[in-house]
Structure 1
Amino acid sequence: MKILLCGSNGQLGCDCIRVFEKEHKVMPFDLPEMDITDKQNVADLMQKTSPDLVINCAAYTQVDKCETNGDAAWAVNVEGAANLAEECRKLGALLFHVSTDYVFDGTKEPPLSYSETDPVNPLSVYGKTKLEGEKRIAEITEHHIIVRTAWLYGIGGQNFLKTMLRVALSDPERTIKVVNDQFGSPTWTLRLALQMERLIKIQGQGIYHATSEGYCSWYELAINFLKLMEVPFNIVPCATSEYPTPARRPANSILENVRLKRSDNNKMTGWRHGLEQFVSRYRQELLDEFTK
């Protein structure tokens, strides 16, 4: 299978390459070679490469900046997704699109979670653009898979775990405040890429949720990660209200992988297990990234 991968330089894109290149021809693209907001660029590139599958990991994910750069977020998350869907429809290719927990308002009390059929109600510009991107894809082509995921981390790109490690290593005595009233399921991008591979093999269709099993707060995640990394740290819990941000975030980002479980195709593991595997594999590489 020929796979065109958009957003190949990001953390999920990097792990998609690792997973899919074993059995398929992966054609990775990112800016500036591929700009999904440029309809002609997308058309030219897809006609040239003629993929069987397009995986879209490209997104405008700077949640707070979306509030002031709504046009840029719309261009990538909505028009970009629509451009890919249109060309996939013309070529008869499958579009695999990555979406987010931010399509929900997060008002449920943990441990209650969100399934694929729960009403959506995004709180932020980012969430609204990602939801509109989902809708546009569904309107344009039936041949699509949309995976909503959350709290991603991986060895590529930047993420919450790397930020915690960088701060802890730069000044172990510094007090780091981390919110303990937002909850979600930390998800390793490699595990998600493997789940995506499974969905393609079973010819999945429509919207799926795919996150690790179980949940925690950002505070719990930071503590568990830095303990596994065996580095000194000084982390204390705080409330979201102590750090107001331009974009409202869902307090509950716990997604339930209902469709995967019902079809006996859920390959996601517990978040602690995934975190332990991640650190076991990449501990030295992570330390080297911030100490050399």
Structure 2
Amino acid sequence: MMKILLVGSTGMLGTACSRILGEDHAIVAPPSKELDMTRWDVVIETLDRVGPDIVINCAGYTDMEGCERDETLVRKINIEGPRNLAQGCARFECRLLHLSSDCVFDGRKETPQPYFEDDPPNPLSAYGKSKLDSEIAVKENVPAYIIVRSGWVYDLTSRGFLRNVIRQALESPGSVIQVPALEMGAPTWSYRLALQIRELVRSDSHGTYHATAEGCCTRLEYAQAVLDTLGLKAVLEERPPGNFTPPIELPVNRILENRRLKKQGIHVMADWKEDLEIFLNAYGEALMQDIRAEGRGGIAA
């Protein structure tokens, strides 16, 4: 049994990691008000007190519009915080697993060609740039690191694309729902990603890994699968990404290949559509009830 310090434990992936890894390991998951990773003194005091075998960093600033507006804030949370964790882990000789993003790539590969771990990154957005800088900060400051890139992650508490498709279909049955054209990726269930992180923690893994669901789809195919599984009715219409607000440049091709996981024999990711159906069959009714209780809102890209 290992002792794991989990940073960002109340978020979507952090919650899943706490549940999955807590079955086999001792989890220490202080709230952000107690472990402010942007403060070096707090990081060092926490590491000294907890004495973890590994730190898992699920924390981060993911508001893409906010990243464009406030460079100081995104740098503090997405770069300085991971750097502090990395330097602290190096001092106390423990491992660091850091979550990154598919947005470190420019997405200009022709679809459906995937991105591999050793493809050169070239982020387009402020968010993507901050995640790439966080990877660099980790690599430069702690020898025992694992970087996990993923994307299109969803769960019962997610506030992104999946939830907003359901919301609009519930509010106006049979109406037109506009979804971004061109984008391709792999919807990834946080539960499955947490299972993959558990395998990485168990192993002697080191370096950068891709971990998304198997297969790929367009946003329209993703939305249609959600509607079909839940029995909801709507007309889906693709619109150019530039027609959405804010006009943030995002990668069109967000397909990642989990090559290193497969090569090492520790790959547990499943087909995106199969996992989506399992998730919606188990939690779809609760998700729809929650959305109905929230009131009205628009769809986010």
Whether 1:130 aligns to 2:131 is yes
Whether 1:259 aligns to 2:260 is yes
Aligned residue identity for 1:91 = F
Tell me which residue corresponds to 2:298. none
Kindly report the root-mean-square deviation, in angstroms, between the aligned alpha carbons of the 2 structures.
1.4
1:92-136 deviations in Å (ceiling 9; x for gaps): 111110000111000011111100010110111111111111111
- List runs of 5+ in structure 1 lacking aligned partners: none
CA 1:220–1:243 in structure 2 vs 1: closer, same or farther (change >3 Å)? same
Q: Distance in 2 between matches of 1:45 and 1:233?
A: 50
- How far off its partner does 1:246 sit? 4.0
- Shifted more, 89-98 versus 149-158: the winner is 149-158
Tell me which residue corresponds to 2:113. 112
Q: Distance in 1 between matches of 2:59 and 2:122?
A: 22
Q: Distance in 1 between matches of 2:200 and 2:81?
A: 23
SS at match of 1:208: strand
CA contact (8 A) 1:180 1:220 kept: no
- How far off its partner does 1:44 sit? 1.8
SS at match of 1:82: helix
Q: Distance in 2 between matches of 1:86 and 1:127?
A: 22
- List runs of 5+ in structure 2 lacking aligned partners: 294-301
Tell me which residue corresponds to 1:23. 24
- Shifted more, 22-31 versus 266-275: the winner is 22-31
CA contact (8 A) 1:59 1:76 kept: yes
Q: Distance in 1 between matches of 2:171 and 2:46?
A: 43
Give the alignment's TM-score, normalised by structure 1: 0.96
Whether 1:170 aligns to 2:171 is yes
Where do residues 277-292 of structure 1 align in structure 2 (5 Å cutoff)?
A: 277-292=278-293
Whether 1:243 aligns to 2:244 is yes
Aligned residue identity for 2:86 = A
Aligned residue identity for 1:197 = R
Percent sequence identity over aligned pairs: 39
1:40-62 deviations in Å (ceiling 9; x for gaps): 22222222222111110101111
Give the alignment's TM-score, normalised by structure 2: 0.93
Aligned residue identity for 1:69 = D
Where do residues 201-240 of structure 1 align in structure 2 (5 Å cutoff)?
A: 201-240=202-241
SS at match of 2:29: strand
Task: Work out the number of aligned pairs and report it.
Answer: 292
SS at match of 1:250: coil
Tell me which residue corresponds to 1:268. 269
Q: Distance in 2 between matches of 1:140 and 1:278?
A: 38
Aligned residue identity for 1:121 = N
CA contact (8 A) 2:241 2:247 kept: no
CA 1:33–1:170 in structure 2 vs 1: closer, same or farther (change >3 Å)? farther
Tell me which residue corresponds to 2:299. none
Tell me which residue corresponds to 1:64. 65
SS at match of 1:264: coil
- Runs of 4+ aligned residues of structure 1 deviating over 6 Å after TM superposition are none
Aligned residue identity for 2:223 = A
CA 1:276–1:94 in structure 2 vs 1: closer, same or farther (change >3 Å)? same
Whether 1:34 aligns to 2:30 is no
- How far off its partner does 1:213 sit? 1.0
